A = this chain, B = another copy of it.
Amino acid sequence: MRTFARTFASIIVRNMARQHATLKDVAISAGVSYQTVSKVINHQVQVTKETEQRIWQAVETLNYRPNHTARALRSQRSFTLGYSWPPSPKDQTNPILDQFLQSIFEAAEERGYYLLCFPYNSDPKKHLEAYGELIDTGRVDGFILSSVEYQDPRVLFLLEHKFPLAAFGRSDPELVFPWIDVDGAAGIAMVMEHLLELGHERIAALAWPENSRVGNNRMEGYFNTLMAAGIKPVSGWVKRGEGKFSVGYDATLQLLDLPKAKRPTAMIALNDALAIGAMQAARDRKVAIGSQLAIASFDDTPMVQYLDPPLTSVRQPVWEVGQRIIPMLLDYIETGRLPEPTSVLVRPQLIVRGSTGRQI
């Protein structure tokens, strides 16, 4: 037996007697039928200047606002977008969450939409149920997704149900849906070229596990740049693991404990936490960051500018992503056709700081 109404039934409905003006009130005040008022408000029909004038006048004096729920019921559209994202682990902060949210809220509001946010259930099956419920109860017109992976169950589910979505991040190339992504390969390539220019040729990498879509994309920038420079990658110099401090710390200790001839002079990290771990390892081994070991990373968490030395990092154009993903989704919802272009790749920006100071 389902229980979707378990709380509903027991609610004591409050009567605040808060009366809003309705279409009918406006109609009476303006001396027309309420359907005409509706049409004027929605700019659907031509009326005489005077009638229109009277109607808007009445709207103004009665302080009329169309009831969203009634409008949604009749038009079968909720003007609401669903969004849920994986929470960041306790020992880390999501560096782009706030900005991304503010950006999509603003872009959505501009077109008359709001965002409905719901918890991220770590059990994929239950998480998909949440999407199903929002769809079936008609609460949302589409979804924003982020942290998309290969064969992402959410993407597959929504495609299967032919329900509109737009994602921050790619999935498998053969899955066609609106997405926008930061060109991670280009970002790391910028870092690599920066290091090459500084004279580094022995560059290690702190990477993520091989099943990470985002990680693999960023690492393309590493391998491609090395290849283009005619440098053969050293297999032991690519360390993989979770993107957290301890992984970066341990991996870097291993690298620094290599015999001098086999030691890298620079390293890139796929995110800031790894790089911060690397910096601590360097300090513990009395290796001067910047001059003896250059370190650079990805994300540009605001506070890395205050590390000692400040960390060179790649900054994602988060605000832009938010501003662009919303129109993609809304165009899809409102026209029923995939937006053109269906997918967008934006370039990140390299922020050079002291951690990649000139080599001695």
Contacts and interface: CB of A to CB of B under 8 A. Distances in A.
Interface string A1-33: 110111111011110101010000000000000
A159 interface: no
Given A13-B75, A117-B105, A119-B102, A137 B68 contact: yes
Contact of A2 (B56, B92, B334): B56
Given A138-B67, A334-B11, A114 B105 contact: no
A13 B77 contact: yes
Interface string A86-120: 01101111110111011001100101101111111
Contact of A94 (B42, B63, B98): B98
A1 B65 contact: no
Interface residues of A, number: 86
Contacts of A99: 87, 90
Nearest to A43: B9
A305 B93 contact: no
Contact of A80 (B116, B119, B280): B116
Contacts of A73: 67, 69-70, 73
A137 B66 contact: yes
A216 interface: no
Interface string A282-324: 0100000000000000000111011010000000000000000
Nearest to A319: B90
A4 B65 contact: yes
A249 to B, nearest CB: 9
Given A73-B70, A334-B12, A98 B109 contact: no
Given A72-B69, A119-B105, A138-B69, A302 B98 contact: no
Interface of A: 1-2, 4-9, 11-14, 16, 18, 20, 41-44, 56, 59-60, 63, 65-73, 75-78, 80, 84, 87-88, 90-95, 97-99, 101-102, 105-106, 109, 111-112, 114-120, 130, 133, 136-139, 162, 245, 273, 276-277, 280, 283, 301-303, 305-306, 308, 333-336
